[in-house]
Amino acid sequence: MSLEKFNLTGQFLIAMPAMTDPYFSKTVTYICTHNQDGAMGVIINRHSDITVAKLFEQIKLQTESLSLLTKAVHYGGPVQTERGFILHTILPAPHDEFNSTVVINNAVALTTSKDILEAVAENKVVKNNVPNKMLIALGYAGWTAGQLEDEMAQNAWLSLKTGLIEEAQALIFDAPNDDKFDLAMGMMGLNVANFSHSAGHA
C-alpha cells in the first residue's frame, strides 16, 4: 500500500482489544507524523505517576494556578520518557509563538519546547499566547520505517479519522482518560465486546 493512501498523520490509532503489550494495551494514540521514515504519536489515555506540580518543580517553573498544578501529566509512550510532548489546540496565526511547534492539522499542534510551559505558568492565555486546551505528556510512541504498516497488516491496530475539529479536540482534551478507548471505538461504530481475542499482537 502506498504511503499516499496510508498516511495516518492526524488520525487516532486504537489498540485492538486483544493486544497484550503492556505499553499499548487499550491505548488511543494520536499520530503526529507518519512518513517514509516512520511514525510518531502521543498516547492520550494514560496518566503518568507525576503531576504538573512535580514536573514544574523539576524544570524550575512556578505558577499560581492550583487547578493546573493538580493535573496529572500523561504517559505519552515508551520513547524519550524524560522529554515533554504537548498536544494543544491551534493558536491564531502565525504559528511561531513557540520554538518547536508542528501544526499537525487544523485541529491540533504538537510543541516540544519548554517555552509553551513557561507561557502557561505565566498565564499568558489572557494575551492569546497560550492554547485554550492542551495535553502535557512525557514520552512518545515511535515506529521505524514500515513498522506501523506491518503492524496494521497484522491487525494490531485500528485507525480512526475524525471529520470534525470538535470531535478530535473533544477526544484528546475533554474526555476522561478511562473513557477514551471506548469512545474511540464507539466513534468507529464498534463495540469492544464483539471483537475476537485472537488478534492484536504488535
For residue 140, the domain's CATH number is 3.40.1740.10
Q: For residue 110, what pLDDT is reported? A: 96
pTM of the entire predicted model: 0.89
User: Which whole number is the average pLDDT over 135-151?
Assistant: 97
In a domain, 43, yes or no: yes
What are the pLDDT digits (tens) for 11-67?
999 999 889 999 999 999 999 999 999 999 999 999 999 999 999 999 998 887 767
User: Does residue 199 lie in a domain region?
Assistant: no
Backbone region of residue 155 per phi and psi (left: phi > 0; alpha: psi in -120 to 50; beta: other values): left
> What's the pLDDT at 164?
85
Whether the Cβ atoms of residue 44 and residue 135 lie closer than 8 Å to each other: yes
Number of domains in the chain: 1
Whether 31 is covered by a domain: the verdict is: yes
Q: How confident is the model at residue 95 (pLDDT cuts 50, 70, 90)?
A: low
Q: Where are the alpha helices (DSSP H) in 95-164?
A: 115-121, 147-153
Please state the rounded mean pLDDT for residues 141-170.
Answer: 94
Residue 13 within a domain: yes
Asked whether residue 200 is domain-assigned, the answer is no
Tell whether 174 is covered by a domain: yes
pLDDT-derived band at 169 (thresholds 50, 70, 90) equals: very high
Average pLDDT, the chain: 87
pLDDT above 80: residue 196: no
| The predicted structure's pLDDT at residue 1 | 44
Domain range holding 121? 3-194
**201 part of a folded domain:** no
SS3 67: helix
Query: Is residue 202 assigned to a domain?
Result: no
